[in-house]
């Protein structure tokens, strides 16, 4: 019995020594464990470890402040997150720091600050594709559509893989804008009929990242300071949707999804006296149960002389529809929605234009 007790004591001592050896001892140990916790979405643990690394005055404190800021963001503490990333910027002029602070400022409604930070990120790294995309989103929020399109083109030229994400985010912003606005009916256009169809599209990658992230970078390489080149295409770290301070952590399993192509048509007649050259129009789905409406916005270049009828046609390719999603309009739940077409903007051959809303 005495021999057994000695063995047990030795085993307990060995376990205690091993646990003590694994416990961080230096600032760098705390920062490395903070990164591990961040990757595992243990944001409170990451905040505690980066705080300890900062208290111990570790190396490369700019990255400790940056990662702690992003962890704070994931916990919904956006003001503290902005403050931490600002501290990181005072220590190092890194393009990713500016880009991510710009995204957070945009979420806070400071569009001037967001634009300034994203401009700085691009100045520091002219091939930083995501910074162009994020700046395009801010331009859309400011109503600067032409500048937004220019930034999106540059973003997609530099990194084609970002195109789906930013187009989805841009379409969502446009949809929200037209759903909020009050719309007048043009006096010189008659909507005769409209329809939409749905066909199977290419299979989407359901594990692809959500729309453009505020944080999108590898976090573990050679150390906490090993931030990758923002232009490099590497395996990404944790993702965050744009301007969303309380986004849930990515799930290990996602619902099954299917890809569809949706085609929209509206037959309109020019009842006025001027030739129409461009029509911006929205196809609205209004749920019968009174929930939020859904709208798709299209711009069609066309030539419609006075008294003539023509079809407006457009499509959305490979929309990702979760198999269990009943709120999104589809061929299977069409009866749940009332459909209508709204003319949003008209441009005429003489250079004049008409808008459905003052906004």
Q: What string of DSSP letters covers 324-352?
A: T--SS--TTSGGGEEEEEEEEEEEETTS-
- Quick check: 257 pLDDT over 60? no
- Quick check: 321 pLDDT over 60? no
Stretch 240-254: mean pLDDT, rounded?
A: 33
211/189 Cα distance (integer angstroms): 36
Q: Assess if CATH 1.25.40.10 describes domain 23-158+208-253.
A: yes
More reliable by pLDDT, 10 or 282:
282
* Helix ranges (DSSP H) in the chain: 2-22, 27-39, 43-55, 61-74, 78-91, 95-107, 111-124, 129-141, 145-158, 163-180
CATH dotted code for 188-203+257-355 = 2.60.40
- Quick check: 277 pLDDT over 90? yes
Task: Kindly indicate the confidence band of residue 319, based on its pLDDT and cuts at 50, 70 and 90.
Answer: low
Handedness of CA 76, 82, 87, 93 (dihedral sign): positive
Domain ranges for the chain, please list them: 23-158+208-253, 188-203+257-355
**Residues in Cβ contact with 258 at an 8 Å cutoff, skipping those fewer than 6 apart:** 200, 203, 204, 320, 321, 323
* CA count, 13 A, side-chain hemisphere, 341: 25
239/251 Cα distance (integer angstroms): 11
| C-alpha angle 55-65-232 in degrees, rounded to nearest 5 | 140
Q: Do residues 134 and 102 touch, judged by C-beta distance below 8 A?
A: yes
Task: Kindly indicate the confidence band of residue 201, based on its pLDDT and cuts at 50, 70 and 90.
Answer: low
pLDDT of residue 212: 31
Measuring CA to CA, which residue among 209, 239, 202 is closest to residue 319? 202
- Quick check: 324 pLDDT over 60? no
**Residues in Cβ contact with 238 at an 8 Å cutoff, skipping those fewer than 6 apart:** 38, 39, 41, 74, 215, 219, 249, 250
> For the chain, first and last CA: distance in Å?
86
* Average of per-residue pLDDT values in the chain: 78
Give the number of other CB atoms < 10 A from CB of residue 52. Answer: 18
274/118 Cα distance (integer angstroms): 42
Stretch 6-30: mean pLDDT, rounded?
A: 57
Lowest mean pLDDT among 1-15, 146-160, 200-214, 240-254: 240-254
CA distances from 208 to 18, 62, 82, 203, 254 (A): 40, 30, 28, 12, 10
pLDDT of residue 6: 52
pLDDT of residue 315: 87
- Quick check: 72 pLDDT over 70? yes
39/267 Cα distance (integer angstroms): 52
pLDDT of residue 24: 77
Stretch 249-257: mean pLDDT, rounded?
A: 39
pLDDT of residue 352: 95
Q: pLDDT digits over 27-64, tens only?
A: 888 989 999 999 999 999 999 999 999 999 888 899 99
User: Greatest CA separation found in the chain?
Assistant: 107
| C-alpha angle 307-311-313 in degrees, rounded to nearest 5 | 150
The first and second tokens of residue 222, run together, are 């050679």
Overall pTM surpassing 0.85 (yes/no): no
Lowest mean pLDDT among 144-158, 240-254, 255-269: 240-254
Stretch 236-250: mean pLDDT, rounded?
A: 32
249/251 Cα distance (integer angstroms): 6
The first and second tokens of residue 242, run together, are 């744009």
Measuring CA to CA, which residue among 94, 104, 131, 101 is closest to residue 227? 94
DSSP 3-state percent helix, strand, coil across the chain (nearest 5):
45, 20, 35
286/81 Cα distance (integer angstroms): 38
């Amino acid at each position: 019995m005495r021999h057994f007790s000695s063995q047990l004591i030795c085993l307990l001592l060995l376990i205690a020594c091993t646990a003590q050896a694994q416990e961080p001892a230096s600032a760098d140990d705390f920062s490395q464990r903070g990164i591990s916790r961040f990757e595992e979405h243990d944001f409170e643990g990451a905040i505690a470890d980066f705080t300890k690394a900062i208290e111990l005055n570790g190396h490369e404190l700019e990255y400790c402040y940056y990662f702690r800021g992003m962890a704070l963001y994931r916990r919904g503490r956006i003001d503290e997150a902005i403050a931490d990333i600002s501290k990181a910027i005072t220590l190092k002029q890194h393009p990713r720091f500016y880009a991510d602070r710009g995204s957070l400022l945009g979420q806070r409604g400071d569009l001037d600050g967001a634009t300034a930070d994203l401009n700085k990120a691009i100045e520091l790294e002219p091939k930083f594709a995501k910074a162009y995309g994020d700046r395009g989103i801010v331009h859309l929020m400011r109503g600067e559509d032409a500048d937004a399109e220019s930034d999106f083109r540059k973003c997609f030229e530099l990194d084609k893989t970002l195109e789906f994400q930013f187009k989805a985010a841009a379409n969502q912003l446009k949809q929200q804008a037209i759903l909020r606005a009050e719309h007048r009916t043009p006096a010189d256009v008659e909507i005769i009929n409209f329809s939409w169809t749905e066909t199977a599209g290419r299979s989407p990658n359901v594990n692809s990242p959500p729309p453009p992230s505020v944080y999108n970078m590898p976090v573990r390489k050679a150390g906490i300071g090993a931030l990758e080149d923002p232009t490099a295409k590497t395996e990404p770290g944790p993702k965050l949707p744009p301007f969303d301070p309380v986004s849930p952590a990515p799930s290990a399993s996602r619902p099954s999804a299917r890809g569809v192509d949706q085609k929209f048509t509206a037959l309109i007649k020019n009842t006025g006296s001027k030739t129409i050259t461009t029509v911006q129009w929205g196809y609205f789905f209004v749920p019968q149960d009174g929930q939020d409406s859904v709208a798709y916005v299209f711009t069609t270049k066309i030539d419609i002389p006075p008294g003539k009828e023509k079809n407006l046609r457009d499509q959305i390719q490979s929309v990702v529809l979760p198999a269990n999603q009943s709120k999104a309009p589809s061929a299977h739940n069409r009866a749940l929605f009332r459909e209508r077409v709204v003319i949003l903007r008209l441009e005429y051959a003489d250079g004049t234009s008409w808008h459905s809303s003052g906004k």
